[in-house]
Amino acid sequence: MNEQAPIKGRITVIGIGEDGYEGLSPMARSILENASVIFGGTRHIAMLPGSNTATQNKWITPFEANLPLIEDCLDQNPVVLASGDPMYFGVGNTLIKYFGPEPIYAIPAPSSISLAASRLGWPLAECDVITLHGRDPETLRAHLRPHGKLIALSADGSTPALVAVMLCEAGFDQSRMSVCERLGGPEERITTQTARTWQSTATSMPDIKSVDPLNLIMIDLEAGPKATPLPKGPGLPDDAFIHDGMITKSEIRAQTLASLAPFDGGVLWDLGAGCGSISIEWKRMGGLAVAIERDGERCAMIKKNAIRLGVPTLAIEQKSIEEALSFADRLPRPDAIFIGGGITIDGLLESCWDLLPPHGRLVANTVTLEGEEKLLRFYNKNGGSLSRLSISRLVPRGSFKGWSNLAPVTHYLGVKA
């Protein structure tokens, strides 16, 4: 929608549960009774009473094609029907991204997430909540932790079996999965089994019990002996990544990420990304990232690592750093930039600095004197901080053990005023 266009109507988004029309508040029912145009899914439209005289529009595919149709009748104050709480992984978020918040008025019903937590007695504030509806299921992998409680909105009836397979592959096979179907209605059903049992049942007897497409999964995580739990914090073990030796070592990576200061929704550009370790860890901590790497084989490694570590939507640009900067306006504006390679490119530090907003962070590492010279000149002109990071690791030396020194890293951090 044109951001400059004046608001010419209101879109009321009404959440409706499995208890249907009768479960709506008097205000929601009154709005529907007086509506002239209603949009919603086939299931939700069918919940309306036969006396409703509004023009009823069922969603078309792809969903984005519905947005101009809603816009065309904005002056008629259209009503949109949605599942549960429209603002919690719901259609309300999509509408706000398109129309902005001003014309949207939402009337929520209890979400399936709230209903499931109340049924099982789970404190919702202590749970991780994700959606696998329209998302890559590998996202689940980033949330696997001992003793965690995870709530996953399913894409369809096949999702629980897929989740069970991933849990078993990760060594969380004894985690208890409660599959909650059609919560809040007369056909409500909750089935609890271990991930191993879900996987075995789906493999040996796939037709023994179909799962309703309207389901979510409550997962009481339990790490088995074969699990390798990974922290969400910085400094994952080097062997968590597929790499060809071009990797920021875990100790250096932990300091680098601390300097980058990840935050939810923050955008990182990872220049000369190598195997993607920096951008992947940034994304695991809630940010958005673009990994820029010119080598095709390394881009393939980045993709594999992103899937393995639960951030399959990591943006990967197979381009040289110069190429990437030449179309910087087509990339999301960075809140932080990390230079892991190419630091000796003339003008690179200055170009990155100019791209950053106030409070943006520029972090760079180098192990060469030439790179160090570039950093020192930039530091003298723009300030910031320079550090020398030295790491020693214990290694075998014959029948004894000794320390092996890794190449010292010169580390720069600048925060734009």
Q: Residue 348's closest CA among 320, 367, 388?
A: 320
Per-residue model confidence (pLDDT) at position 4 = 45
List, as one string, the DSSP characters of 13-49: EEEE-TT-GGGS-HHHHHHHHH-SEEEE-HHHHTTS-
Tell me the residue type at 44.
Answer: H
For 11-110, the fitting CATH number among 3.40.1010.10, 3.30.750.24, 3.20.20.70, 3.40.47.10 is 3.40.1010.10
Strand ranges in 122-188 using DSSP code E only, listed in sequence order: 128-131, 149-153, 176-181
Per-residue model confidence (pLDDT) at position 152 = 97
With beta carbons less than 8 A apart as the criterion, state whether 108 and 115 touch. Answer: no
CATH architecture entry for 238-415: 3-Layer(aba) Sandwich (3.40)
State pTM to two decimals: 0.88
User: CATH topology of 11-110 equal to that of 238-415?
Assistant: no
Tell me the residue type at 271.
Answer: L
Distance CA 270, CA 268 (A): 6
Per-residue model confidence (pLDDT) at position 7 = 62
Per-residue model confidence (pLDDT) at position 246 = 86
The domain locations on the chain are: 11-110, 114-220, 238-415
**Contacting residues for 337 by C-beta, under 8 A, at least 6 apart:** 268, 269, 271, 352, 355, 356, 360, 361, 362, 363
For domain 114-220, give the CATH number.
Answer: 3.30.950.10
Residue 131: half-sphere exposure toward Cβ, Cα within 13 Å: 11
Return the DSSP state at 391: -
Per-residue model confidence (pLDDT) at position 240 = 94
Per-residue model confidence (pLDDT) at position 203 = 67
Per-residue pLDDT 10s for the chain (417 aa) are 545 455 679 999 999 999 999 999 999 999 999 999 999 999 999 999 998 999 999 999 999 999 999 999 999 999 999 999 999 988 999 999 999 999 999 999 999 999 999 999 999 999 999 999 988 999 999 999 999 999 999 999 999 999 999 999 999 999 999 999 999 999 999 999 999 999 987 766 555 458 999 999 999 999 999 999 998 889 999 999 999 988 999 999 999 999 999 999 999 999 999 999 999 999 999 999 999 999 999 999 999 999 999 999 999 999 999 999 999 999 999 999 999 989 999 999 999 999 999 999 999 999 999 999 999 999 999 999 999 999 999 999 999 999 999 999 999 999 998
Distance CA 392, CA 40 (A): 61
Strand-pair partners of 40 = 58
* DSSP element (H, E) containing 375: helix 369-382
